Every structure is written in structure tokens, then in C-alpha cells.
Amino acid sequence: MTATPAGMTYAQYLGLDELLSAQRPLSGLHDEMLFIVIHQTMELWMKEMLHEVDYAIRLIGEDSFAPAYKALARVGRIQSVMTLSWDVLSTLTPVDYLAFRDVLGTSSGFQSAQFRELEFRLGLKDPAFLSQHTAGGADRHKLERALEQPSLRDAAAAALERAGFDISDGTGPAWLDVYRRADDLFELYQLAEKLVDLDDALAMWRHKHVLTVERIIGNKRGTGGSAGASYLRSTLDKRLFPELWSLRTDL
Ligand code: HEM
């Protein structure tokens, strides 16, 4: 615990000087402020999500399922807010955005280290994305560490193993069994449904991102050098727990 400074103010406690001086539009145009604020807001929410996901992974590792669900429920509410916030950005028209797009240079959401860290911590560990971050830099270090740490996906697989399931051929058959014996294996069944919630909400966020991108820049290339909307569409089928989706067909 850190001692509270005498007479501490609201602004001091929240670091508002730093936070509120970090919006620095380059174009002088009205709409760039919204563009900056929406990105910063999402980055703050991702920070909180990483905090909760890390906690949930630890709790699942201890078979403390109820507190883990609480953390995952919080993540779910944050995801809803993040998905809804695309509607605020949709008030930016193509004309508004094109007026300042040039000032972004080569910067792009592709370089969001927190988004990638979140994917890694959830279980989508694709080392190809490391190349977006300078070797030896702090972001690269964090991402390399996240690749090594157990993900939420790993934690769920380990929980199945501790419950006596053989997962040497993957977790698919074990999860199917959990759903078939949902009454007896309620904890794991409930865990699985929380994981599907998370997967569902992440897909919704991706979906609203690509829709917003199409609405604002159509099929123009991205500032990060990708093909733009068609690249983003190719990410829509990513699932953290594909087994939990496919078992629905087999039930
Ligand atoms: C006018 C608004 C936006 C446009 C036109 C846009 C466009 C794009 C494009 C074209 C890409 C593909 C990479 C590239 O070539 O640059 C991308 C990736 C990305 N964007 Fe956005 N974006 C917008 C807003 C946002 C916001 C508000 C966030 C929130 C943090 C965000 C987060 C990301 C992330 C995380 C990626 C990487 C996705 C992945 O690789 O799966 N974007 N964006």
C-alpha cells in the first residue's frame, strides 16, 4: 500500500495533468480530437481488460471459478462498451476523416501493443505480429512475455486436465463431454459459456471495427500498409475457443 499524500486532490489522484494533456491533434481540424479520444479510451479499456484477464487466468489456475467469473463478467461489460463506442466514431464522416488522415502518417491500429497482448493473453498467440514492434523495445518485451505466459485458453485446458480429462488430442472431446454432462460438471460448463461470451464479444468488436472502417474509408488501404477492410474481414473468423463453437454442431 502507498501512503496517501496529505491534501491530495482529485486531479492528483487520477494523474489528470498527464492524462488530459495527452490529446495533441496535429491538424488543427475539429474532428481529430474525437479520433484521438476514441483511440485513447479504447486503449484504457484494453489496459483494464488485461488486468482482469491476468487475474482470471490466475484464479482459474486455482480452481477459484466463482471469482474468475466475476472478473470475466467485468471484461464482458467492458467489451460491450467498447463495441458500442464505434457508434460515436461513426459520427465522423469520410469527408471529416480524409481532411486529417494524412497527419497519421504510418501510424496504425496494427501497432496497438495492448490489443496484441490481449489476443496473446486470451490464447491467440501469433508470433508473426511481433514484427510490428521494434526488437529490444518495451512493447516487444511485453509481447514476448505474453507469448510465454499461460493464456486464458491454456488455463481452461489445464482446468479440464485437473478435472481428469485427457486432452492429449486437444480439448474438443473434453468440452463436448462437459456439455453432455452439464448437470454433473456445472462449474466447467459455466466456465465454457463465459469463454464463449468473451469470444462472441470480441468478434462483435472486430465486426463493428470493420463496418466503421468501411463506412469511413471504404476499401482504401490502411495507414499500416494492409489492404484495409479486406484484411480486417479476414480476422472476423478468429476464435479463441473454436472447439466450443464446433461442439454445438456435435451436441
Ligand atoms: C477512422 C477510424 C479507423 C479506421 C479507418 C481504421 C482502420 C484500420 C485499418 C485499415 C486497419 C488494418 C491495418 C492497417 O493497414 O492500418 C486497422 C487495424 C486495427 N485498428 Fe483500426 N481503424 C479505425 C479506428 C480504430 C480504433 C478507434 C481503434 C481502437 C483502438 C482501432 C484499433 C485497431 C486495431 C487493434 C487494429 C489491428 C487489428 C488486427 O490486426 O486484428 N482502430 N484499423
Atom 26 of ligand 1, residue of closest alpha carbon: 39
What does residue 231 show for φ and ψ, rounded to 5 degrees?
-65, -45
According to DSSP, residue 226 is labeled S
CATH topology of domain 31-109+150-250: Methane Monooxygenase Hydroxylase; Chain G, domain 1 (1.20.58)
Residue 58 is predicted with a pLDDT of 98
Helices (H), 21-148: 32-61, 65-84, 86-89, 94-100, 113-122, 138-148
Residue boundaries of the structural domains of the chain: 31-109+150-250
Looking at the CA of residue 112, tell me the nearest atom of ligand 1: 35
Ligand 1 centroid to residue 53 C-alpha, Å = 22
Dump the DSSP string for 7-47. T--HHHHHTHHHHHT----SS--TTHHHHHHHHHHHHHHHH
Among the listed residues 121, 187, 188, 119, the one whose alpha carbon sits nearest the alpha carbon of residue 154? 121
Among the listed residues 154, 149, 159, the one whose alpha carbon sits nearest the alpha carbon of residue 190? 159
Instruction: State which of 110, 207, 237 you would mutate to test the pocket of ligand 1, scoring each by most atoms of that ligand within 8 A of its C-beta.
Output: 110
Rg (CA), the chain: 20
Contact yes or no for 44/38 (Cβ under 8 A): no
172 CB less than 6 Å from ligand 1?
Answer: no
- The tens-digit pLDDT sequence of the chain (251 residues) is 999 999 999 999 999 999 999 999 999 999 999 999 999 999 999 999 999 999 999 999 999 999 999 999 999 999 999 999 999 999 999 999 999 999 999 999 999 999 999 999 999 999 999 999 999 999 999 999 999 999 999 999 999 999 999 999 999 999 999 999 999 999 999 999 999 999 999 999 999 999 999 999 999 999 999 999 999 999 999 999 999 999 999 99
Distance CA(146)–CA(143), nearest Å, equals 5
Ligand 1 centroid to residue 173 C-alpha, Å = 36
This model's pTM is above 0.95: yes
Looking at the CA of residue 108, tell me the nearest atom of ligand 1: 16
Ligand 1 centroid to residue 108 C-alpha, Å = 6
How many residues does this entry show for the chain?
Answer: 251
